[in-house]
Amino acid sequence: MRKYYYFIVLLVIIMLVGCGKPGKVLKIYCGNTMRPAMEILAKSYEEKTGVKAEFSFGDSSEIFAQVMLSKKGDLFIVHEPYMEEFAKKGLIAEYKDVAFLQPVLVVAVKNTKKITGLADLAKKGMRLGWGEPEFALAGKLTEEYLKKNKKYDSLSKNLKVKTRSSSELANAIKLGSLDAAFIWNATAKQFNGTVEVVKLKDEILSARVSLGVLKSSTNSKTAQDFLVFSASDECKTAFTSCGYKVK
């Protein structure tokens, strides 16, 4: 009888443990370019705290629209100028700049066209691509850079495509439909082994990447803790490993 009693007690304990409250989950809106780095950060944070991350991915403009419509979520990460847009709408509790994106010139691995700089891109028959400046900040920064260096007109003659995403351009190089393109440094890292970066004499301007806590957060203390974690040396290393610049 006593053995039976102990068995029942043990069974109840197991059931109580098994039916305990689920761990906290942070809802994070994440720009597509930032996905690899944020998944590394989220995994590390979960290992340290048990708090999981649930992501919604999209380009930075889509993230802004999602948050505006849902009015839900804990954190978001975007590149400029969207942090300013969030601030204007009064959606931010606090934020930190965590890394920098920068447009870079890439070519196919082995660089069979022998491209070493902007002058080579103006040669007859070159097939170029960069972002659509109306929708892609990388494209806007690229065009500003080319105009500043008086190369916009000559290179535009070889421009074959403008896209909304750097990944599309990297894929075009991979497939052989482009000879060179200007894409984010982080995207170049994602396509490592397919594309290689051609170092320019003068670098193109960088764009801030910011992580923010939303006022709508129902886990504000945990979200703030994740924000503090994002500024750690471990996280800086994660961003660097994914191709970003960090301070």
So what's the pLDDT on residue 62? 87
Statement: residue 37 has pLDDT above 50: yes
pLDDT, average across residues 156-175: 97
Angle between helices 35-49 and 233-241 (to 10 degrees): 150
Task: Answer yes or no: is pLDDT of 21 > 80.
Answer: no
Total-model pTM: 0.86
Residue 61 has a pLDDT of 82
Distance CA(91)–CA(181), nearest Å, equals 35
**pLDDT over threshold 70, residue 6:** no
pLDDT in tens, 182-232: 999 999 999 999 999 999 999 999 999 999 999 999 999 999 999 999 999
**Is the CB of residue 180 less than 8 Å from the CB of residue 198?**
yes
User: What pLDDT was estimated at residue 23?
Assistant: 67
The closest alpha carbon to 184, from 21, 32, 28, 5, belongs to 32
pLDDT (tens digit per residue) in 73-83: 999 999 998 88
pLDDT tens digits along 119-140: 999 999 999 999 999 999 999 9
Tokens read off for 90: 């009064």
Q: What's residue 60's pLDDT?
A: 83
CA atoms within 13 A on the CB side of 24: 21
> Could you give all domains of the chain from N- to C-terminal order, each with its CATH number?
25-100+208-241 (3.40.190.10), 103-198 (3.40.190.10)
CB-CB contact of 44 with 246 (8 Å): no
Q: Is the pLDDT score of 48 beyond 90?
A: yes
Q: What is the mean pLDDT of residues 110-114?
A: 93
| Confidence at 5, pLDDT banded by 50, 70, 90 | very low
DSSP string, 63-89: HHHHHHHH---SEEEEETTHHHHHHHT
In the predicted model, what is the mean pLDDT of the chain?
Answer: 91
Asked if the model's pLDDT at residue 70 lies above 90, the reply is no
